[in-house]
Amino acid sequence: MSHPIEDAFAAACERYDMYGVDVEAALEALGCVSLSLPCWQGDDGAGFETLDDPSARSGIAVSPAFPGRARTIDELRADLQAALALIPGRHRLNLHAIYGDFGGKPVARNEILPEHYQSWVDWAAASHLGLDFNSTCFSHPMADSGFTLSSPQDQVRRFWIEHVRRCREIGAWMGRELGTPSLHNLSIPDGSKESPVTRFQHRATLRDSLDEIFATEHPAEHLKDSIESKRYGLGSESFVVGSHEFYVSWAAGKQVMPCLDMGHMHPAESVADRISTLLQFHDRLALHLSRDVHWNSDHVVTQNDELIDAMQEIVRAGALARIHFALDFFDNTINRVGAWVIGARATLKALLFALLEPLELLGELEEAGDYFARLATIEEVKLLPFGAVWEYYCHSLDVPDGFQWLTTIRAYEDRVLRKRR
């Protein structure tokens, strides 16, 4: 007996074939994409470096908070496993340095070692996951001035140089142990609420710090580096040391990827438009996926126009293998496990939508100068049965499709999350 999802998929393939789209090839390409999930979504960014009551760790404060925040490493891993079971494909985990397994002992950030992440590597290997890594250059007394790697105080700057240096070493170790390169992303919060008169000096200091840190090279098969720009952030509304122009200029020719964060740009700016520009000068790009609402906004990713535009730009450029996709959002006002699933599935759906675009036909129309037919075709293909293809993709990988996954999340919420105090 045929299955309704398989029947709908067969009909969808026939419709797409009328536009010259190979649906099977699109699904094969989608299956090669790994998303890096943000560990901080599970516990509101609290991490595990403090020794106080884990239920009292503050993390990112948004009110009202949904119950069930992960309080321990084991709880966080269990929540991640619950989310990954509902996301088609094989993916990765993105760890911040403050999520080490410190064994209840205080460890300064400039003294972290691979041994503090051994249990994460063991868990990732058993779960068939890759690991990515991030320096944690915020929420620390040495960052209270607003400046870390660009600080005029040598003691502060040396502390953060050593922290990032060790993080890159740990990332390279993770990549070697797991057999898949780890991406180390460097996000530096430096800036100020008002404009200082020493902007040039801060940027010169930051450049010196980066040159020192990245003078140490690690094998590309173990470690990849990216550096993340911001337009502005909380407490740095007027001045961000590591501006987009600064990092793009510095990274050129240094085997360091620029990282475009969709939640850290001005809402009127197009991240998609920057992709094909930067790919002219950089072999690879890192893309942090979040939903911008106003500014410095890390809302859960949804399948909106901005996300689809970015995915179409990547596919149209033939650059799918050159992009490192990482989710970068947090929301503690909703089910945290469900947030991972919503964001990951939305990203994969947007990418599939882009892969199903009839690029050959559109290219022919554009080359012929028939811009009317090009625009008409772009509009008409929006009504093709994309949902039937997505449901089949989930079905083929034994991942719940449609609203079935919501039932699974609700059951986990009742069984696990609401029992946490």
Q: Are residue 404 and residue 329 in the same domain, yes or no? A: no
27 found inside a domain: no
pLDDT at residue 62 in the model: 57
26 found inside a domain: no
Q: Are residue 132 and residue 268 in the same domain, yes or no? A: yes
pLDDT at residue 297 in the model: 72
333 found inside a domain: yes
28 found inside a domain: no
> What distance in Å separates the CA atoms of residue 45 and residue 138, rounded to the nearest whole number?
11
> What distance in Å separates the CA atoms of residue 76 and residue 104, rounded to the nearest whole number?
16
> What distance in Å separates the CA atoms of residue 120 and residue 102, rounded to the nearest whole number?
11
Q: Are residue 59 and residue 98 in the same domain, yes or no? A: yes
Q: In 3-state terms, what secondary structure has residue 270?
A: coil
Task: Show pLDDT as tens, one digit a residue, over the chain (421 residues).
Answer: 678 999 999 999 999 999 999 999 999 999 999 999 999 999 999 999 976 544 444 456 555 789 999 999 999 999 999 999 999 999 999 999 999 999 989 999 999 999 999 999 999 999 999 999 999 999 899 999 999 999 999 999 999 999 999 999 999 999 999 999 999 999 999 999 999 999 999 999 999 999 999 999 999 999 999 999 876 677 777 899 998 899 999 999 888 999 999 877 766 678 899 999 999 999 999 999 998 887 667 899 999 999 999 999 999 999 999 999 999 998 999 999 999 999 999 999 999 999 999 999 999 999 999 999 999 999 999 999 999 999 999 999 999 987 889 999 999 999 999 999 7
* Count: domains in the chain: 2
Q: Are residue 44 and residue 6 in the same domain, yes or no? A: no
Q: Are residue 342 and residue 413 in the same domain, yes or no? A: no
Nearest to 251 by CA among 239, 243, 240, 262: 243
Q: Are residue 65 and residue 206 in the same domain, yes or no? A: yes
Tokens 């919060």 belong to 189
pLDDT at residue 60 in the model: 60
Max CA pair span of the chain = 74
Q: Are residue 326 and residue 413 in the same domain, yes or no? A: no
286 found inside a domain: yes
9 found inside a domain: yes
Domain boundary among 355, 372, 387: 355
Q: Are residue 283 and residue 418 in the same domain, yes or no? A: no
> What distance in Å separates the CA atoms of residue 171 and residue 118, rounded to the nearest whole number?
12
Q: Are residue 410 and residue 282 in the same domain, yes or no? A: no
Helices (H) and strands (E) in the chain, counts: 14, 10
104 found inside a domain: yes
Domain boundary among 305, 329, 355: 355
267 found inside a domain: yes
Which 3-state string (H, E, C) describes 349-383?
HHHHHHHCCCHHHHHHHHHCCCHHHHHHHHHHHHH
Range of the domain at 102: 33-355
- Give me 15's structure tokens: 């419709």
Q: Are residue 345 and residue 389 in the same domain, yes or no? A: no
Which residues have CB under 8 Å from 406's CB, separation 6+? 338
- CATH number for the domain harbouring residue 139: 3.20.20.150
Domain boundary among 355, 371, 394: 355
Q: Are residue 178 and residue 256 in the same domain, yes or no? A: yes
Q: Are residue 146 and residue 231 in the same domain, yes or no? A: yes
